[in-house]
Structure 1
């Protein structure tokens, strides 16, 4: 499963066997841009729907449920479609006055609407499959340290240096996410006593 920000390159042959999920946080930011820059109410309705889906999923998982009732999924799906209908009626496609080379520009709002329509299953994946997170923020936070290192140091002097950094930081990040002590884990690593028993 790959959770991402809907870039078309993620849907190429390299990921054709993967299950896709669109990051809810990225979609929320795009909807916020439509609200602030274009004053369109459908975007706020979509934000509210996604927030309601998130809260409903949290309540269901707190009760020990592993999936949402089929009827509930259908109701939210129908609400999603109604919001998109409002969005498309507010932003009809207009043929360009002058025919130019390449694809005609549609504008950010219409492009977002088409993406939400075409990738509906992936947008709602976090609710139809409870194993899928709402966003990929955890993964992005994990990658942030590597980007910061590249920003401050420019690059590594050798491939081995970069590889060692990735190994060490992946251990630190994994242990921290599982409630362990990263410093203790590194001590164990250098003493050849490091264990992944905390995964059990």
Structure 2
């Protein structure tokens, strides 16, 4: 399939992006500093200008994810656990939970059968599975 955007189309999108950022910068000149929301808008426009390559990466490289949903999904179990119990009781508990979830998340991304992996690593006697200890 197609691996990347045509150069002429990429240039067109890049130019349009620059114009939109410029429009944002111009719009900011009409807002008085200190006005409610001004600082947030200024920072957003600066991020759009400074990180253009990162924002447009998915157009240049079709292997790049379009969103950060995968990262957000990886964090969701931690937030859910925190909401259900109100907090983690110890730093050790947080550390252990994150390590276990990291292993499970990796197995899911590898499309491994979780039951089989758990059996192999934790139940079968020849297992040499190690979760590194964190300090």
TM normalised by structure 2 equals: 0.70
The equivalent residue for 1:183 is: 115
CA distance in 2, matches of 1:187, 1:171: 14
Confirm or deny: 8 A CA contact 1:172 1:185 kept in the other structure: no
Gaps of 5+ in 2: 130-135
5 Å matches for 1:59-74? Answer: 63-65=1-3, 67-74=4-11
Q: CA RMSD in A?
A: 2.8
The equivalent residue for 1:132 is: 64
Gaps of 5+ in 1: 1-62, 97-102, 195-200
SS in 2 for 1:169: helix
Counterpart selection for 2:88 from 155, 166, 174: 155
How big is the shift at 1:120? 1.7
CA distance in 1, matches of 2:31, 2:20: 24
CA distance in 2, matches of 1:112, 1:163: 33
Counterpart selection for 1:169 from 92, 101, 104: 101
Aligned length: 123
How big is the shift at 1:132? 2.7
Confirm or deny: 8 A CA contact 1:116 1:123 kept in the other structure: yes
5 Å matches for 1:1-200? Answer: 63-65=1-3, 67-89=4-26, 91-94=27-30, 96=32, 104-105=34-35, 106=38, 108-153=40-85, 154-157=87-90, 159=92, 161-190=93-122, 191=124, 192=127
